Structure 1
Amino acid sequence: MTAINPIIHADFPDPDVVRVGDCYYMISTAMHMFPGGQLLRSYDLMHWEHCAYVYDILGETAHQRMDGGAIYARGMWAASLKHDGERFHVVFTSNDTKHSYHYTAEDAAGPWTRQPMEGASGAPAFWYDPGLLFDDDGRVYVAHGNRTVRITELTADLSAKKADGLDRVVVVDDNPRLGWEGSCLTHIGEWYYLFCIHWRPDHMRSMGCFRARSLDGDFEGGEFMELDLDNRSAGVAQGGPVQLHDGSWALFLFQDHGAVGRIPVVVPFRWVDGWPVVDAVPKTLNLPSSRPDYEYAPLYTSDDLRHGWSVLWQWNHEPHLELVDSDADGLHITTDRLATNATQAINTLTQRCFGPRCTAEVTVDAGGLNIGDYAGLCALMGCFAQLAITRREDGLYLVYTRKDAETGEIITEAELPWAAERLRADFDFDADTVRFSCVDAAGKCTAIGAPHQLVYRLDHFMGCRIGLFVYSTQAAGGSAWFSDFTYTVEEG
């Protein structure tokens, strides 16, 4: 089957892929989105659909719930997904709690259960950017670290570092930009391979590969791939190898793609004298399928939001579900605190943006808003933009607010009496812009304000999201109804 890179034009960073039988499974970084640890499945490495979430909540910390703080750019990072022949295992770190977490399931679709994971002397484990290996002899290892990458042997149940087990440094690097990290540890034939990402000054991100005949032997190797896709001057890197149905091999990696985020790319490679060799990052490639007639469910969805919401929605931070309801009128969200914009609002419901262009519309019933409340549609990232209905003493108004990416200033560009039916956002990720509009009962669309420049930055460390939000600025207790959300993507 003919595939086109990028495989998914949306934010699925730090991917890890495993093939079990005729099915591929992928996990990626969730950051501050809940439920998290989204698992995707595919039969051809090209088309993907939702399979499960590994967890609903994580550490149950105050900041994960946006109580007195937030975990933007932290949360769940860089999971390792493996199958030991009987069960699936996911291990990852959360960079707000500084703990590692282990979840396991017999079936990838769940249920997933959390297992204890301890480091030295009973302290919480923190295996940074872990790469699990279930070796042929039944022993279990994890490669981990940044700049200094170690391989540590774990107990058979992964609950702790194994007493007197292997614990050694494999790679050391003092590179001032990005040292070796993003470990993927695997045993193929007579070699143990450690794949890592690297980023030297004045270079693009690159992939490195080290190998040894035993885990306590000498690892040799280094960078082997520094390649771009679509002339973006952004290296395709971080991930690991997977053997395809026909016996060929590919690397499943990602590339920075501006405001839409870090998006997956498949890179075929061949083995030469036991080393991976990549000739190019192809725009088109042929991938074998074990089920060529399978129909995949999209990774985005329209949703009437009545009597529940689609599994493809994720909450920005852990939700306060006691303030959320859904019935025949739609999704009802009530406030219980004050905020100043959508990035501070609890219970903001989101979906990933998809490139190259996508459009979202939603109906907002503002009848439950109190004076000073805002409810609407947003482009959720550090330099956010939002179109909201607000209640004032003399009625409802439509307000367009954005955060300028260069100055950091929060600017209100348009305020006018509310007289429409729906809110709309048009995203263009060739230009990294969003344009907001309102839509009247006849379907006429009226642009509000100027297009807003979206910029991917480390303050959120996540691609842009479409968000539905409500918050109060004067007194808590107001509410809004959301319904008839429509989402279209222009494939490209």
Structure 2
Amino acid sequence: MTYSNPVISGFHPDPSVCRVGDDYFLVTSSFEYFPGVPLFHSKDLVNWQQLGHVLTRTSQLNLRKAGSSGGIYAPTIRYHGGVFYMTTTNVSGRGNFYVYTEDPRGEWSDPVYVDQPGIDPDLFFDEDGSVYYTTAHDAMGQGAYQSRIDVLTGERLSDIRLVWNGSGGQHPEAPHLYRIGEWYYLMIAEGGTEYGHMVTIARSKRPDGPFEGCPHNPILSHRSLRSPIQATGHADLIQAEDGSWWSVFLGIRPYGYPMHHHLGRETFLAPVTWTEEGWPVIGYHGTVAETMPAGTLRLQPGAVPQVRDDFDHSVLAPCWTFLRTPDQENWSLTDKSGCLTLYGSPVTLNEADTPAFIGRRQQHFAGRFAAHLTFAPQHNGEEAGLTVFMNERFHYEIAVACIAGERKLIFRRRLGSLWKVEHEMPWLSEAVVLTVRADQNLYVFEYAEEGKEPAVFGKGECGLLSTEVAGGFTGVFIAMYATGNGERALTPAHFDWFDYEGNE
């Protein structure tokens, strides 16, 4: 049997995984989006279902001042003594911390902060009860730095010391420490999280080194290869219930020339074998394909994705996120029964701030994304609709707006310093179905009155929202939004349903 990569598509970078019996739990980075740290569950390492998020409360996560691609960086999830731990960095807050729970499907604790600089923290529980905290940072020189901590309080029990500076690649980061047999293995990422990305590993007879690098480093990299998968790196190791070894890691799927990608960094999976000398080999001698053999994994049926969200529940589905820490006054699931209601704040999509914005990751190159909007703006500047959003400087909108006292349908593009409403027309109805159709190269924006065929209203190139153009570490979101364009809007925007239909 085979499986397809990526195993979690769209903007889900920096994966970390742990196993409890035959249950696997995986977390990824979330940056400036709230709630933080998406949490997934699987029975087979291939088919993943999102349970929710780890950081769901403002007491855990404050993203008010987070810039684009700020906020929550690479997490690590571990299980020890009946407790789950997730450690991460809020680069826009107090730095490194961890939270814990006995039930990952429930609430996690408030943060326990660790007085150790750097990013991409790792927790390792040794057999003698010692707990090691390893981070990567440049403040003290490039490399992996480590201390022992009291896991009950986060207090450091030792000085911070450099344990390995990698194999020579730039930006050594993402350390993970393991004990496998008689060896302690320290695995990191090097080369930067772009096209030179790679995974390297070292080992020692002690958890604090000295560490000896693998003679076959890097053990994973697609640099300079002609492959549909690029930028592979930032890996974590996991032993399956049957004893086989696997690795999750990030990668991208770029296209065109020069290459560019807009779905973000995604989660991939590869088998791991071991040499006679005791070194891991990821995939095909350090490479991975879109179709891989499942080996001894007992593959489970994948869940059938739900196309329509009718907003009939008391809470949002796990796929929905806010842009930074949300204002409760900006949204409601109860003000109009069966609708998601947005109240436009003064904040626009052009600001690194907290607009009235609820979106989900674009996870397929091709698809149809649509929403039914009821909105009758009465005051100049009031606006609501759909946005295809990379960051505050790169996004497209199709929306209903009040302009000079007239209700209009608009299509707008924001591309760096270039900002333009490219199409507008009077719109008399209070209801409209807004649709975005996508393929690998183009977004097509459509509108329709209820019961009528949609009409094309604008187009935008996907590549102009790519990381290579727009910058940053995230991926494209399809979102519902509302704004008063500098003033708080008085007219609510009611979204009766939202469709996400991926065609891959």
Name the TM-score, length of structure 2 as normaliser: 0.87
- Return the alpha-carbon distance in structure 1 between the equivalents of residues 12 and 61 of structure 2: 25
Post-superposition shift, 1:392? 2.8
- Give the 3-state SS of the residue equivalent to 1:129 in structure 2: strand
1:269 equivalenced with 2:248 (yes/no): no
Q: Shift of the alpha carbon at 1:74? A: 0.7
**How far apart, CA to CA, are the structure 2 residues paired with 1:186 and 1:211?**
9
Distance in 1, matches of 2:184 and 2:419, equals 51
Structure 1 runs not aligned, ≥5 long:
120-124
Q: Which moved further from structure 2: 78-87 or 409-418?
A: 409-418
Q: Distance in 1 between matches of 2:144 and 2:460?
A: 44
Q: 1:414 aligns with which of 408, 423, 435?
A: 423
- Confirm or deny that 1:427 pairs with 2:438: yes
Secondary structure at the residue paired with 2:262?
Answer: helix
Alignment of structure 1 residues 39-438 onto 2, 5 Å: 39-58=39-58, 64-65=63-64, 70-119=66-115, 125-146=116-137, 147-157=142-152, 159-162=154-157, 165=158, 167-172=160-165, 178-199=170-191, 204-221=196-213, 222-227=217-222, 231-232=227-228, 234-257=230-253, 258-272=261-275, 273-278=277-282, 279=285, 280-287=287-294, 292=299, 296=303, 298=305, 302-308=308-314, 309-326=316-333, 327-328=336-337, 330-339=339-348, 341=350, 346-382=355-391, 383-404=394-415, 408-418=417-427, 421-428=432-439, 430-431=440-441, 433-438=442-447
What CA deviation, in whole Å up to 9, does each residue of 1:321-366 have, x standing for no partner?
A: 1332223151222234253648756230011111131221111111
Asked if 2 retains the 8 angstrom alpha-carbon contact of 1:43 and 1:290, the reply is no
SS of residue paired to 1:77? coil
Which residue pairs with 2:3 in the alignment?
Answer: 3
Question: Tell me, what secondary structure is at the counterpart of 1:114?
Answer: coil
Identity among equivalent pairs (%) = 24
Cα gap change, 1:319 to 1:340, in 2 (>3 Å): closer
Structure 2 contact 135–145 (Cα < 8 Å) conserved: yes
2:491 is aligned with 1:481: no
Contact 2:344-2:383 within 8 A present in 1 as well: no
Matches of 1:202 and 1:61, distance apart in 2: 27
Contact 2:150 2:156 (C-alpha < 8 Å) held by counterparts: yes
CA–CA distance in structure 2, aligned partners of residues 261 and 224 of structure 1: 23
Q: 1:160 to 1:427 in 2, by over 3 A?
A: farther
Shift of 1:205: 1.0
Q: Which amino acid aligns with 1:159?
A: G
Q: Any conservation in 1 of the 2:332–2:342 contact (CA below 8 Å)?
A: yes
- Distance change in 2, residues 1:100/1:471 (3 Å): same
CA contact (8 A) 2:47 2:302 kept: no
**Aligned residue in 2 for 1:122:** none
Residues 292, 148 of structure 1: alpha-carbon distance in 2 compared, 3 angstrom cutoff: closer
Query: What's the CA shift string for 1:407-446, capped at 9, x where partnerless?
Result: 5311221111225721011222x32x32211123234121
CA distance in 2, matches of 1:233, 1:161: 40
Q: Secondary structure at the match of 1:322?
A: helix
Contact 1:90-1:102 at 8 Å conserved across structures: yes
More divergent stretch after superposition (52-61 vs 202-211): 52-61
Q: Sort the Cα spacing of 1:335 and 1:474 in 2 relative to 1 into closer, same or farther, 3 A.
A: same
Contact 1:44 1:289 in 2 (8 A): no
Gaps of 5+ in 2: 254-260
Whether contact under 8 Å (2:387, 2:481) holds in the other structure is yes
Cα distance change, pair 88–127 in 1 and its aligned pair in 2 (3 A): farther
Q: For residues 463 and 472 of structure 1, what CA distance do their matches in structure 2 show? A: 26
Point out the more displaced range, 12-21 or 217-226: 217-226
RMSD of Structure 2 on Structure 1 (CA): 2.7
Could you tell me how far 1:56 is from its partner in structure 2? Answer: 1.7
Q: Which residue in 2 is equivalent to 1:24?
A: 24
Using the TM superposition, name which of 455-464 and 2-11 deviates more.
455-464
Alignment partners' CA distance in 2, 1:35 and 1:201:
23
The secondary structure found in structure 2 opposite 1:207 is strand
Shift of 1:394: 4.6
State the distance in 2 between where 1:474 and 1:184 align.
Answer: 46
Structure 2 residue identity aligned to 1:137? D
Distance 2:348 2:192 in 1: 41
Q: State the shift of 1:268 in Å.
A: 1.4
Shift of 1:134: 0.8
Q: Cα distance, 1:312 vs. partner?
A: 2.0
| Contact 1:5–1:266 (Cα < 8 Å) also in 2 | yes
Matched, 1:464 2:473: no
> Does the CA contact (< 8 Å) of 2:69 and 2:473 recur in 1?
yes
Instruction: Give per-residue Cα distances to partners, 1:455-491, cap 9 Å, x unaligned.
Output: 1257542110011000012532322111111110112
1:45 deviates by: 0.9
Question: What code does the residue aligned with 1:274 have?
Answer: G
SS at match of 1:235: strand
